[in-house]
Amino acid sequence: FATMTKKLTVSLLDYGAGNVRSVRNAITSCGYSIIDITSPSQINEADVIIFPGVGSYESAMTVLQTTGYDNALRAYLAADRPYLGICLGMQTLFESSTEYKDDEQHSSGNESKTEELPGLGVIPGHVIKFDETKRSVPHIGWNGTIAHQSSPAMRYMQDDNNKSKDEVYFVHSYYAPITDTNSKWVLTRTTYEGQEYISSVQKANVCATQFHPEKSGTTGLNFLKGFLESVEDGTLSNTTPIAVNPTDHTELVKRVVVALDVRSNDNGDLVVTKGDQYDVREKDDDAVTGRGGVRNLGKPVSLAARYYEEGADEIAFLNITSFRQGVIEDMPMLQVLEEASKSIFVPLTVGGGIRSYTDPESGKVYSALEVASRYFRAGADKISIGSDAVYAAEDYYASGGKKTG
């Protein structure tokens, strides 16, 4: 998207939960440099803030409050300074949410309490959970958007009729309903199995999305590019209301998910391979065993990048030989994720060997969660857990339904 670094510097508010590597890479791919916000005083000094909130609403607001970022953000937003919130970065703008980190702590018998966690209170309204009796939760996948405003931030996303040119990627269980008090904030809306909700907001220089632009391919990058260029040229606040047709709706679309079986060859290099029931060696009639070298279909990162460029909506790396030494030390696969996330802006999934284990040298025990966390930080958006999920379920039932983590 860019051949040179722009003058505008993006201040990134990363409060330490989940994977924000792709957000960083998406921003830099648009030609902008990043500075990390590490203290509340930096918020007031920022040219533009991007807050890629991930995780739970409760965790996000707790961190913002304990660090003093919440009041600094409120002052920044009240002054109408350029801001882009992503996912939780949008939800925290509302008055409150019913999302708790552990629903069990907030239930009494079979009835769940409905008290709400306060947010930043910038936008009127409350974030609530999708009705699980009427649709699958979470809402996850590629869905469309319907514009309620024309915005310079959407300059590369919409056609001449202000309609989105393509779908964007969502993953969330909670949503912000459209109400009379927040309708002027609505930039776009989206439909999930009959439920209309706010998929992005904008008022003047404050903007936020429920979808993940950093995982929405070219469409998402175009949004980031349009937003940042609008901040640079001072046009971001130049929005115009659009006549809305209430009968228009969006829906999830089918996805193309590419699964790449990855393992080490005899030289120790990670390659993409293919075989019958994990027999991935070429036949070699001259060899004593009749088994030749590992079938090599290409290098994981370059092959994944090719599929992405050809239109894949998601890439899954499956480590079919698990881990030879340990889990945390399996650096080649971590490096594959880190490199792939630099140029691939759709969801990345990793699976194979993500389990609890004991380091044979130090004796340290690593939980499956710790292993998964390492992969999230390396750039994974989803983790596929096999046998450890079965063991966890067995332990859960054996303990009479006691949760351990």
Residue 106 is a catalytic residue? no
Please list the alpha-helical segments (H only) found in 234-353: 300-309, 331-340
* DSSP label of 164: B
Catalytic residue among 87, 99, 139, 229: 87
- State the pairing for strand pair 168-172/174-175: unpaired
Residue 310 is a catalytic residue? no
Burial of 195 (0-12, 13-18, 19+ CB in 10 A): middle
Catalytic residue among 148, 212, 229, 314: 212
Catalytic residue among 95, 99, 167, 214: 214
Residue 30 is a catalytic residue? no
Please list the alpha-helical segments (H only) found in 270-386: 300-309, 331-340, 368-378
Which are the contacts of 267, defined by CB distance < 8 A and separation ≥ 6? none
Q: How far apart are CA 282 and CA 238, in angstroms?
A: 61
- CB contact at 8 A, 207 and 224: no
Question: At what angle are helices 21-29 and 217-233 packed, to 10 degrees?
Answer: 60
Active site residues: 87, 212, 214
